[in-house]
Structure 1
Amino acid sequence: MMKKRLLSLVLTLSLCLSLCLTPALAAAGLSNFTKSKTYTPGQFTDVASSTWYTSAVQAAYEYGLMQGSSDTTFNVNGKLTIGETVAIASRLHATYQGNGYTFTASEPWYQTYVDYALTNGICQAYPDYTAVISRASFAMILTNALPPEALTAINTVEENGIPDVPSDANYHDAVYLLYRAGVLSGTNSTGTFAPFNQITRAEVAVILSSMVDPSLRKSFTLKAVVKPTSLTLSAPNFVVDAGAKQSLKATVAPANTTLPVTWSSSNTNVATVASDGTVTGVTPGTATITAKCGSLTATSVVTVQKVPPIGKPTGFFFTRNSVNGITLSFDGRNNSGKAINYYTVHVTFLDPIGNPAYDEITHKATASVRYVGPVSPGRSILVYKLMGYVPACDAIRIDTIDLEYADGTKETIVYNQTTHREEHF
């Protein structure tokens, strides 16, 4: 039975930590924590050379605060239980106090730590010590492991400076103590704590190494959060071509709101949105773009349409000769992705008030012209043609364009582009 208990204790501590206790009756203080191991970069395959937790894992290992789940892995995303947390806190407390306390084997393995923690006011009794612990509960237990003088404030963290830690939360004091001491700095740039998330071994390494080594603590300032009262977007809905971009602007009131605006798309296969609100069309369809600031949200529906086979004109005008002969010039890029063998442009002449004008000779308001390609993808279809003799022509509208592709397919597109530009020679 004794062998079984010892094996259980060893296995559990390999997942938790193995604090290096100082000699009996040492003076209380952080100096009781000394480096006892040498960390070799790369010894844990799941700890990259440059992450937010790399240096913390090294420090926690060298101080004897934590070890790997195996010889080659640290298990950075592994979760801690309440029992493991109580064991950590109890060993921290005993080492800091320098009282030479020895934790004996017990059944279950964590009972010896629970007894010590309850005696020294480190934690309350829990119904299930095998349950995974939250970040909030971890903070409350760990702050009781060291006295206030070991966690002196180095940061200004105003009340309401941590956006998701309300003043009436039972974990409020513990979290603010760790933030002000520089042991915790939050999960993002605004200092969000995420109290109900389960804590990972990587996060534990950061906290423990900072608790025993003040040089590892972070300096920062968190001002009180100013929550938004309203959030609106520049457009409730809009249309964008596949592959094109369009910016949405979020307006937040009051203007001094300290919380950031974050963006998301309901369907990234249709449209994506960047952190600045720039929407990129991906494939035809609809998606809802959501902006979020604090507890407020605002949405805009984007319709992504197929890229028109012929882009908007880069050159589009007409000239009139001395006998009212109208010559059209047009330049539009081939965006179809295919070679165009033939294209036919259908136009309507407009009088000064936008009505169809009439050809002086044929008495028609419309004209068509057919051209022979090929026009490669990315190149332009061009029109330069005397279209008719129209005395009252003020504008020309290209209504539709017939496209005949090299692969044998045909397509008629509604173009509906108008030019009022007339050049005189």
Structure 2
Amino acid sequence: MKKLLSLVLSLALAFSLCVPAMAASESMANFQKTATYNNQFSDVSASYWATPSIKLCYEYGFMKGTTPKQFSPTGALTVAEAIVMADRLHEIYTTGQSTLTNGEPWYQTYVDYALENGIVQAGDFTSYTAKATRGQMAYLFSRALPATVLPSINNVQTLPDVTGSTKYSQEIFSLYNAGVLTGSDVFGTFKPNDNIIRAEAAAILTRVALPEQRKTVVLMKQVQWGNAKIAVPQSAGAGVTENGYFSVSSQQDLCVAVANAATDKNFKGYNITKLFTPDSMSQMIATAFSTNDVQFKNMGTKTVTFGALKAYRTTGSALFNEGNYNCVVYTYISGDTMSMILLMAYENDIALQNMANGLMVGGVTASPQF
């Protein structure tokens, strides 16, 4: 009996040595906070645009400071440093932890890991110590995780400075549509050849790893009308002129832009603020469009400028076609012509803001922005 028991125990021990330890499975849930951010970086102010992303990157272990008290948000990243970040995303996603350490040269361990796991291909980069571009960062981060965890939440078809022939265009568009990239303006300008800074990398990292940080975008295109370039969603059709009004609309994004101009020699030498008070401007707008089945309410008017040109910006809501639209109206006098541009969006505040901030008169956007 003792011999039999000994044999059974020996077999059990041998079996246990053959069974591998349970490893973490591939999952977005593997991204967990591992540190506490206590505003320790003296060069990252509370009001800095990237502070929320820098905080998350530190807490989740994606990035560290350049020193214990400095983050260097505007500092450039090298290709090697960008690969390190992509590796961390991949390793945490697949194993639940980050274990890679420096080699010789310091980045070799990370390059080897990236090659072995298909994050990069041999010959992708001529120098690992060169400054990384925004396009290269998009390439690396889009390949760090499976495409299945970066589903499309946007429908971005065109970008001002990225075409099918642009290097890394496929990865760039996939990150735009996943809500990871948003562009540097309302038109989605990406600047693929510019060097990426640490703050920008932090924003991209958090959006790749944390789906709740991803952004919905409604990118704009410009439609020329007189001396104005009206920003409308890329999904908008061609503009038409009817009964003296110019209009362009997007059924997909539920947005409308309507413009009208009146010419009178008596306008010459005046700006809009000399002829109307803010209150009278609100009333004039409500009256001007009442004949077009638009009822305005909660109107408020403030002065803005397009360069040296003074204008009024009136905000409120409009009842149009039985729908309640939020609206922004710009009114200004240029020479002997008074122009009025009405922007409306139905339950799409992002689109309305982008339309307002993308409007250009005489080549200049409004100040302050909406």
Shorter-chain TM-score bucket reads: 0.5 to 0.7
Find the counterpart in structure 2 of residue 278 from structure 1: 308
Deviations 1:56-77, CA, capped at 9 Å, x for gaps? 1111111011111112221000
Cα deviation, residue 50, structure 1: 2.0
Deviations 1:269-290, CA, capped at 9 Å, x for gaps? xxxxx9614259xxxxxxxxxx
Q: Could you tell me how far apart the structure 2 residues matched to 1:118 and 1:275 are?
A: 53
Kindly report which structure 2 residues correspond to 1:29-178, keeping only aligned pairs within 5 A, or say none: 29-40=27-38, 42-98=39-95, 102-124=99-121, 125=123, 126-157=125-156, 159-160=157-158, 162-178=159-175
Q: Could you tell me how far apart the structure 1 residues matched to 2:83 and 2:148 are?
A: 21
Q: Conserved in 2, the CA contact under 8 Å of 1:83 and 1:130?
A: yes
Partner of 1:26, secondary structure, is: coil
Cα deviation, residue 90, structure 1: 1.7
Q: Could you tell me how far apart the structure 2 residues matched to 1:37 and 1:232 are?
A: 56
Higher percent of residues as helix: 2
RMSD of Structure 2 on Structure 1 (CA)? 3.3
Shift in alpha-carbon separation, 1:152–1:279, aligned structure 2, 3 A = same
Q: Which has the higher contact order (CA 8 A, sep 6+)?
A: 2
Find the counterpart in structure 1 of residue 181 from structure 2: 184
Q: Could you tell me how far apart the structure 2 residues matched to 1:131 and 1:257 are?
A: 45
Q: Conserved in 2, the CA contact under 8 Å of 1:44 and 1:73?
A: yes
Deviations 1:146-197, CA, capped at 9 Å, x for gaps? 001111112222x11x221112222211111111111111112222111111
Query: Aligned pair 1:201/2:231, yes or no?
Result: no
Q: Could you tell me how far apart the structure 2 residues matched to 1:231 and 1:136 are?
A: 34
Cα deviation, residue 100, structure 1: 6.5
Kindly report which structure 2 residues correspond to 1:380-391, keeping only aligned pairs within 5 A, or say none: none
Cα deviation, residue 91, structure 1: 2.0
Deviations 1:309-348, CA, capped at 9 Å, x for gaps? xxxxxxxxxxxxxxxxxxxxxxxxxxxxxxxxxxxxxxxx
Query: TM-score scaled by structure 2?
Result: 0.55
AA at the equivalent of 1:131: A
Q: Conserved in 2, the CA contact under 8 Å of 1:83 and 1:110?
A: yes
Unpaired runs of 5+ residues, structure 1, are 1-22, 234-248, 259-273, 281-293, 300-425
Cα deviation, residue 199, structure 1: 0.5
Larger radius of gyration: 1
Q: Conserved in 2, the CA contact under 8 Å of 1:79 and 1:198?
A: yes
Query: Aligned pair 1:28/2:58, yes or no?
Result: no
Partner of 1:112, secondary structure, is: helix
Cα deviation, residue 206, structure 1: 0.5
AA at the equivalent of 1:29: S
Partner of 2:46, secondary structure, is: coil
Higher percent of residues as strand: 1
Shift in alpha-carbon separation, 1:78–1:251, aligned structure 2, 3 A = closer
Kindly report which structure 2 residues correspond to 1:299-318, keeping only aligned pairs within 5 A, or say none: none
Q: Could you tell me how far apart the structure 1 residues matched to 2:187 and 2:198 are?
A: 23
Deviations 1:1-28, CA, capped at 9 Å, x for gaps? xxxxxxxxxxxxxxxxxxxxxx972010
Q: Conserved in 1, the CA contact under 8 Å of 2:44 and 2:71?
A: yes
Q: Conserved in 1, the CA contact under 8 Å of 2:141 and 2:208?
A: no
Cα deviation, residue 219, structure 1: 1.6
Q: Could you tell me how far apart the structure 2 residues matched to 1:250 and 1:188 are?
A: 15
Q: Could you tell me how far apart the structure 2 residues matched to 1:250 and 1:96 are?
A: 45
Unpaired runs of 5+ residues, structure 2, are 1-20, 232-237, 240-245, 251-303, 311-357, 364-370
Q: Conserved in 2, the CA contact under 8 Å of 1:25 and 1:100?
A: no
Q: Could you tell me how far apart the structure 1 residues matched to 2:34 and 2:96 are?
A: 19
Q: Could you tell me how far apart the structure 2 residues matched to 1:24 and 1:197 are?
A: 44
Query: TM-score scaled by structure 1?
Result: 0.48
Shift in alpha-carbon separation, 1:47–1:91, aligned structure 2, 3 A = same
Ranges of 4+ aligned residues in structure 1 off by more than 6 Å: 249-255
Query: Aligned pair 1:217/2:214, yes or no?
Result: yes
